[in-house]
């Protein structure tokens, strides 16, 4: 390609901008782009490009990419440089499949700091499950409020559901939620007495491997009850 045109004379930052535009469409497009010329191959490995590459949902990801050594190195490199989506998926696996809580917690925090909504959701659930830490619960509630205000909760839950249910259910060990976790103790709460029905709805959806229960709590007006329901649903995400 370099012999037929003078595109090689473009500044590197222009090449990087082009590569990012290509990478954010499809991962396959980035692969094709890298094969066009030497400069494209070079900028295709740039950290800024790999951090932005579009990764398909877990159930759509070609398993050849995972089995192939080159594909594995590619994803490992993306995780190392902080690709938010891959960091989030790996964080959930470390937390709930490999039981490396310290590693998974750090990765989840990094993914949330990078602005990934699903990571913020999972982080809020983890914080809300810390029964004896009032500061953690307060931070988790703030994260949850922000996601709810943006109507982002269904998409966030679906992202967690997709990552964790791609494995065998027995592999996923979600944290427990005790009765003492319940956040709302208001006697004037209008939704408090109906939470049991919503919990049953959530459990039935989990048992059927369905995400149809995602919108089950949309009408709950009390933010504390909504959070309590969301935590219940989260810990049941991979239980059968």
Residue 32: its H or E element: helix 27-34
The pLDDT of residue 34 is: 81
Mean pLDDT, each 10-residue run in order, the chain (240 residues): 57 83 81 82 82 83 73 85 91 91 94 94 93 87 93 91 76 77 66 55 53 55 79 76
Please report whether residue 160 resides in a domain: yes
The pLDDT of residue 214 is: 47
Taking the C-alpha atoms of residue 35 and residue 61, their distance in angstroms, rounded to an integer, is: 21
Residues 100 and 161 in one domain: yes
The pLDDT of residue 87 is: 92
Residues 149 and 92 in one domain: yes
The pLDDT of residue 212 is: 45
Residues 101 and 136 in one domain: yes
CB 81 within 8 A of CB 47: yes
Q: How many domains does the chain have?
A: 2
Residues 163 and 86 in one domain: yes
Please report whether residue 134 resides in a domain: yes
Residues 150 and 195 in one domain: no
The pLDDT of residue 202 is: 57
The pLDDT of residue 224 is: 78
Please report whether residue 44 resides in a domain: no
CA-wise closest residue to 126 among 169, 160, 151, 158: 160
Please report whether residue 18 resides in a domain: no
Q: Would you state the structure tokens that stand for residue 17, as one six-digit string?
A: 């901008």
The pLDDT of residue 43 is: 81
Domain boundary among 133, 167, 201: 167
CB 220 within 8 A of CB 191: yes
For the packed helices 153-164 and 223-235, what is the interaxial angle rounded to 10 degrees?
10
The pLDDT of residue 24 is: 79
Please report whether residue 66 resides in a domain: no
The pLDDT of residue 125 is: 94
Q: How many residues does the chain have?
A: 240
Say whether 197 sits in a helix, a strand or coil: helix
CB 19 within 8 A of CB 43: yes
Domain around 193 = 188-236
CB 125 within 8 A of CB 231: yes
Q: Rg for the chain (alpha carbons), in Å?
A: 21
């Amino acid at each position: 390609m370099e012999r037929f045109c003078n595109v090689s004379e473009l500044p590197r930052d222009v090449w990087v901008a082009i590569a990012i535009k290509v990478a954010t469409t499809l991962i396959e497009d980035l692969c094709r782009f890298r094969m066009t010329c030497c400069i494209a191959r070079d900028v295709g490995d740039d950290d800024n490009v790999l951090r932005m590459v579009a990764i398909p949902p877990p159930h759509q990801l070609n398993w050849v990419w995972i089995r192939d050594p080159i594909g594995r190195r590619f994803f490992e490199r993306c995780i190392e440089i902080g690709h938010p989506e891959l960091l989030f998926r790996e964080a959930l696996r470390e937390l709930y499949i490999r039981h490396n809580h310290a590693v998974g917690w750090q990765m989840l925090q990094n993914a949330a700091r990078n602005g990934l909504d699903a990571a913020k959701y999972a982080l809020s659930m983890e914080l809300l499950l810390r029964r004896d830490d009032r500061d953690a619960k307060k931070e988790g509630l703030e994260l949850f409020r922000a996601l709810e205000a943006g109507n982002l909760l269904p998409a966030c839950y679906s992202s967690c559901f997709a990552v964790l249910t791609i494995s065998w259910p027995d592999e996923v060990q979600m944290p427990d939620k005790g009765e003492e976790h319940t956040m709302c103790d208001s006697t004037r709460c209008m939704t408090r007495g109906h939470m049991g029905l919503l919990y049953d709805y959530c459990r039935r959806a989990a048992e059927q491997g369905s995400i149809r229960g995602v919108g089950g709590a949309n009408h709950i007006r009390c933010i504390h009850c909504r959070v309590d329901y969301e935590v219940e649903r989260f810990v049941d995400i991979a239980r059968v």
